[in-house]
Structure 1
Amino acid sequence: MLYWWSKFVLLGPLLRLLCRPTIEGVDRIPESGGAILASNHLAVVDSFFLPLLVPRRITFLAKREYFTEPGAIGWAKKQFFTGVGQVPVDRSGGSAAQAAMSTAVRLLREEKLLGIYPEGTRSPDGRLYKGKTGVARMALEAEVPVIPVAMIGTDKVNPIGSRMWRPHHVHIKVGEPLDFSRYEGMAGDRFIERSMTDEIMYSLMELSGQTYVDLYAASVKEKAAAAEREAARSDARDAARVPGTRAG
């Protein structure tokens, strides 16, 4: 009930008025049964527009921190993210990654429609980055198809670093389902999972029209952050050498 309240009463009218979103190929999403919606990831609002325009309920794996903030604001966030179909998981790495994988496979075997961003994080510059193989492992273990989905225009609505949403048309393209049943029983084979993931990313590139970069988005972000820190340290050292000034 909370999901439908969030979709049609709280979010729906605002997003439809602000962005006039459209979708094509929605009939390629099965009406029942487990399946993975593998989408590019341009902005936080991707997780709002996709559930709005797809008739079936979509479940996303979300950071546990979204559900554990204290106080009234934390409670409101928990209710909101639960309402838009997000399930909390620990994504800090190691055993947590396996726990997230197990949760995803369980949901798929329960015939849920699972939303996944194979890039693992938002694109830092609008390009499409290398996919992580977790999506392939999920598909193989749960024996479900992968449906590529391209989000277009959400980065204009919610640019990186922005706090306010901006009016801009959003369009969603749903591609043909990818059937990987030919690899049945081969979960855990890293070469097979890499090949599957590359096939998914190629489909996303064709659908979205994005330039593909054969690097992980998280690595690119880490390098950029490291460069910014080094630049700040360099500025501080330069300032310390100038008489009459001090760093900071």
Structure 2
Amino acid sequence: MEGAENIPGTGPVILAGNHLTFIDSMILPVVCDRAVYFIGKDEYVTGKGLKGRLMAWFFTGVGMIPVDRDGGRGGVAALMTGKRVLDDGQMFGIYPEGTRSPDGRLYRGRTGIARLTLMTGAPVVPFAMIGTDKLQPGGKGLPRPGRVTVRFGEAMEFSRYDGMDRDRYVLRAVTDSVMTEVMRLSGQEYVDMYATKAKAA
């Protein structure tokens, strides 16, 4: 772990980083001294039988908050969940790309991250997962042994944009500045396209 001193010890914080594989959300809470909450698909905690109960126990234990992200209301539900966590003075983890990278490159960030920081005043600490895709290629199967680096950058604050959380140009500028830091920390090639569109193609 590198740059842990950049995470504020108290108060609301947004951790925003790249997303390479399924186990990113398992590693992030392990390397942080404070509890990290993040959203995940509600299907992770609604499974049946022993396997379903074990998955629900694990994901809620590592700080996942289940949200139904399908349909038009999914993004709003995710945003409001993050706001509640931050209003309580906690840390909220988010992957601005919105989904795992299909090829290891860094894709365009969605502006929910910008709305969260502008609505709550919480600083954004960018981070980079490096090597998790080698442990679990394609996000499937059991992880293999290997070395992973989690690198945190300096906290970013956007108080100069107070009251502008509905200005789409401001939202894009804030999001892009966060993604630029994630790119610098990760060393990934940047693609100015949404990862979901790349997967569909």
Whether 1:51 and 2:29 are equivalent positions in the alignment is yes
| Equivalent of 1:153 in 104, 113, 131 | 131
From 105, 108, 117, the equivalent of 1:127 is 105
Kept after mapping to 1: 8 A contact 2:23/2:132? yes
Q: Say yes or no: does 1:222 pair with 2:165.
A: no
Q: Superposition RMSD on alpha carbons, in Å?
A: 0.9
Residue of structure 1 aligned with 2:38, choices 47, 60, 66: 60
1:190 aligns with 2:168: yes
Instruction: Give the 4+ runs in structure 1 shifted more than 6 A.
Output: none
TM-score normalized by structure 2? 0.97
Between the aligned partners of 2:152 and 2:179, the Cα distance in structure 1 is 13
**Does the 8 Å contact 1:118/1:133 carry over to 2?**
yes
Report percent identity of matched pairs.
Answer: 50
Instruction: Read off the aligned partner of 1:126 and give its amino acid letter.
Output: G
State yes or no: 1:27 paired with 2:5.
Answer: yes
Q: Which runs of 5+ in 1 are unaligned?
A: 1-22, 224-248
Whole-angstrom CA distance in 1 between matches of 2:61 and 2:84: 20
The higher relative CO (CA closer than 8 Å, separation ≥ 6) is in: 2
Give 2:50's aligned residue. Answer: 72
Structure 1 CA distance for aligned equivalents of residues 190 and 71 of structure 2: 26
The Cα offsets for residues 34-67 of structure 1, whole Å up to 9 and x where unpaired, read as 0100010011111111111111110011111111
Q: Counterpart of 1:95? A: 73
Per-residue CA deviation, residues 130-151 of structure 1 (Å, 9 max, x unaligned), is 0000011011111111110000
Per-residue CA distance 1:175-197 (angstroms, 9 max, x = gap): 01111011011111111000000
